[in-house]
Copies of this chain bind each other. A is one copy, B any other.
Amino acid sequence: MAEPRDTVVLAYSGGLDTSCILVWLKEQGYTVIAFLANIGQKEDFDAARKKALALGAEKVYIQDVCREFVEEFIWPAVQANALYEDRYLLGTALARPCIARRLVLVAKEQGARYIAHGATGKGNDQVRFELSCYALCPSIKVIAPWRMPEFYQRFPGRRELMEYAQKHGIPVPVTPKAPWSMDENLMHISYEAGILENPKNRAPLDLYTKTCDPTTSPDIPDELEIEFEKGVPVKVTNTKNGVTHRSALELFMYLNDIAGKHGVGRIDIVENRFVGMKSRGIYETPAGTILYHAHLDIEAFTMDREVRKIKQGLSLKFSELVYNGFWYSPECEFLQHCIARSQEAVAGTVRVSVFKGQVYVLGRESPHSLYNEELVR
Interface of A is mostly: mixed
Bound Cα distance A365, B365 (Å): 44
Contact of A358 among B87, B214, B307 (CB under 8 A): B214
- The segment out of A19-27, A158-166, A349-357 that lies at the interface is A349-357
B312 x A331 contact (CB < 8 A)? no
B312 x A317 contact (CB < 8 A)? no
B373 x A198 contact (CB < 8 A)? yes
B307 x A334 contact (CB < 8 A)? yes
Chain B residue nearest in CB terms to A214: B356
Answer whether A370 and B278 are a contact pair too, CB < 8 Å, given A269-B297, A358-B214, A377-B197: yes
A29 at the interface (CB under 8 A from B): no
A6 at the interface (CB under 8 A from B): no
A322 to chain B minimum Cβ distance, whole angstroms, is 13
Answer whether A330 and B306 are a contact pair too, CB < 8 Å, given A86-B312, A122-B376, A358-B214: yes
A358 x B361 contact (CB < 8 A)? no
Chain B residue nearest in CB terms to A278: B371
Residues on B with beta carbons closer than 8 Å to the beta carbon of A198: 373
B310 x A316 contact (CB < 8 A)? no
B279 x A362 contact (CB < 8 A)? no
Residues on B with beta carbons closer than 8 Å to the beta carbon of A171: none
- The segment out of A8-16, A106-114, A337-345 that lies at the interface is A337-345
B377 x A193 contact (CB < 8 A)? yes
Chain B residue nearest in CB terms to A375: B277
A99 to chain B minimum Cβ distance, whole angstroms, is 24
A248 at the interface (CB under 8 A from B): no
A269 x B300 contact (CB < 8 A)? yes
A376 x B193 contact (CB < 8 A)? yes
Residues on B with beta carbons closer than 8 Å to the beta carbon of A312: 86, 316
A319 to chain B minimum Cβ distance, whole angstroms, is 11
A308 at the interface (CB under 8 A from B): yes
A310 x B335 contact (CB < 8 A)? yes
A219 x B214 contact (CB < 8 A)? no
Contact of A356 among B85, B87, B356 (CB under 8 A): B356
B316 x A304 contact (CB < 8 A)? no
- The segment out of A63-71, A140-148, A199-207 that lies at the interface is A199-207
Contact of A296 among B86, B338, B371 (CB under 8 A): B86
